[in-house]
Amino acid sequence: MKQAHFQIAKLTFGKNGPYDLSCGPECIGIKGVSGIGKTLFLRALCDLDPHGGEVILNGRKLSEFTGPQWRSQVGMVPAESRWWHSRIRDHFPIQMERDQIVEMVNTLGFKPEVLNWQPSRLSTGEKQRLSLARTLAREPAVLLLDEMGSGLDSANLQTVEQIVLEYQKLKQVTVIWVSHDDDQLHRVCDRSFTLLVDKLIPVEETSSLQNKGQ
């Protein structure tokens, strides 16, 4: 299995940046005060918004790919999912076998019938778990999670964290997890950073900065 190498070089968007970060196959946590641009950071990484600087995946620059090619490798799970087809199943790749999808949703605690459901039947927490599933089904090399877990109870949260970490280890991918929950970042991430307007700083340094300030 090829190990992911995901590099962010002088990334800018709006008034933010430049950000530099080099990631291997690991889980990176990102925190920051609300409104600082955490979601915009993820959107820039998957090329949904115009941005400056470079993002490089396994030695190849973002600009070498078309938008859709890039986003099938750098998959983002939004904070609140939307659904557009009339059945859940249709949100998974057409070429994917039904058995594979069943197995996948099963690990997330769903019965196979859920695939025939209309999305409107799902609760917020169920939507969030299935939204993770539909992104994982595309097997991205980099997984961007925006506040994944804010709508989940503790049991489901544990399942989701476990599945993300299993996927990360199995496929040797990079996970970038934006969260406001320090405990969660501590639990799941190998390294965590605080997003400031002009830089990313390791969380340990953030707390020492705060201590100095006090």
Residue reference for tokens 């039947």: 121
DSSP 128-158: HHHHHHHHHTT--SEEEEESTTTT--HHHHH
Query: Binding of another protein at residue 172 (CB under 8 A)?
Result: no
Is the CB of 26 or the CB of 47 nearer to another protein?
Answer: 47
Type of residue numbered 23: C
36 neighbors 80 (Cβ within 8 angstroms): no
Applying CB under 8 A, which part among 9-17, 62-70, 150-158, 171-179 lies near another protein?
Answer: 62-70
Q: Which of 11, 76, 101, 141 binds another protein (CB under 8 A)?
A: 76
Query: Binding of another protein at residue 82 (CB under 8 A)?
Result: yes
Q: Which of 12, 72, 150, 206 binds another protein (CB under 8 A)?
A: 72
- Phi/psi for 177 (5° steps) reads -115, 110
Applying CB under 8 A, which part among 53-61, 74-82, 172-180, 196-204 lies near another protein?
Answer: 74-82
Cα–Cα distance measured from residue 199 to residue 209, given in angstroms and rounded to the nearest whole number: 14
Is the CB of 80 or the CB of 204 nearer to another protein?
Answer: 80
Nearest approach, Cβ of residue 103 and another protein (Å): 20
Applying CB under 8 A, which part among 15-23, 81-89, 176-184, 197-205 lies near another protein?
Answer: 81-89
Query: Binding of another protein at residue 40 (CB under 8 A)?
Result: no
Which of these, 32, 26, 31, 33, lies nearest to 7 by C-alpha position?
26
User: Is residue 12 helix, strand or coil?
Assistant: strand
